[in-house]
Amino acid sequence: MTAALTSSVGRRGVNSPADARTVQALLNQHRARPMLPLAVDGKVGEKTIAAIEEFQKRVAGMSSPDGRVDPNGATWKVLVGGRPSTAAPTTRIVTPISVVFKHGFKKPTGVRGLPGAEVKTTATRYESTVTVSGGVAGSFKGSIYPDDMTVKGRLKDGSHDLYLGFHKPGVPKAEDLVVRTNGFRAVLVVNANRSVPVSSNLSSKQTSDGIHIHNGYNTWTPDVAMSEGCLILAPSDWPGFIKLFLDAFPDIADWTAGGGRLGKRIGSVSVTP
């Protein structure tokens, strides 16, 4: 069956649902790993427009993409007549991934050394909005705080390199690339496990190392720490968060490229008000 387009799709396009689904389905034929497929839902939002622009740059060779597909236009002709990319998958074809923990100067409860330390509930433990953008996208709840600010610290506002990797001791295998909530599991690693600056109520606590992005727990007690300074995701949001990266990087080599439990660099993580 030959694809047909009756009106423009994309930025400032007519964007009829039928035409939008046609364009989304065709774009998916050209998406290269680790880019995730578009939802073929007939809705033209920022993800569809960004996918059009990416296609225009990478496949159609346009230096100034306009984010729109017109009937019988140059983009449409390449979209229906060009061959899907067979280039080897590489993160160079995707904008580096950005993970942002935006705390808005909020402070969680349940943390020693902060107001409300005695209120241990997940409803107020996660003060930050966590936004993922670039090659993958999503929005979640999380926290930048440890359980005890009197001895540990929270990552200072700023940006650091972000890596794939594993939490807790173990030898990574392909079968470990699944969602887990305890023990040895796939996570994201801040600054290749090297030292990062932290804020703490303890004046001598200026830096921490081995900082990961992983899941928090549904319940906790003062004697069983949930986080010693790592960035954490709300328990209900963790599976969706880490699955973005497991789906985008399905090769175990990506998760071990740095040696042992440290994988490849995939972008940056930022903490910001």
Query: pLDDT 10s digit of each residue in the chain, 273 long?
Result: 457 899 999 999 999 999 999 999 999 888 876 678 899 999 999 999 999 998 888 888 888 889 999 998 999 999 987 544 444 444 333 559 999 999 999 999 999 999 999 998 888 999 999 999 988 889 999 999 999 999 999 999 999 999 999 999 999 999 999 999 989 999 999 999 999 999 999 999 999 999 999 999 877 676 677 787 899 999 999 999 999 999 889 899 999 999 899 999 999 999 999
**pLDDT computed for residue 120 by the predictor:** 86
**pLDDT computed for residue 172 by the predictor:** 94
Query: Count of residues for the chain?
Result: 273
**pLDDT computed for residue 223 by the predictor:** 66
**C-alpha pair distances (Å), 142 with each of 114, 127, 214, 247:** 17, 6, 10, 21
**pLDDT computed for residue 84 by the predictor:** 44
Tokens representing residue 2 in the block = 């030959």
The residue type of 238 is W
Q: From the CA atom positions of the chain, what is the Rg in Å?
A: 21
The residue type of 90 is T
**pLDDT computed for residue 135 by the predictor:** 80
Give this prediction's pTM. Answer: 0.66
Cis-peptide into 96, omega within 30 deg? no
Burial class (CB in 10 A: 0-12, 13-18, 19+), 196: buried
* 3 state SS for 28-51: HHHCCCCCCCCCCCCCCCHHHHHH
**pLDDT computed for residue 263 by the predictor:** 95
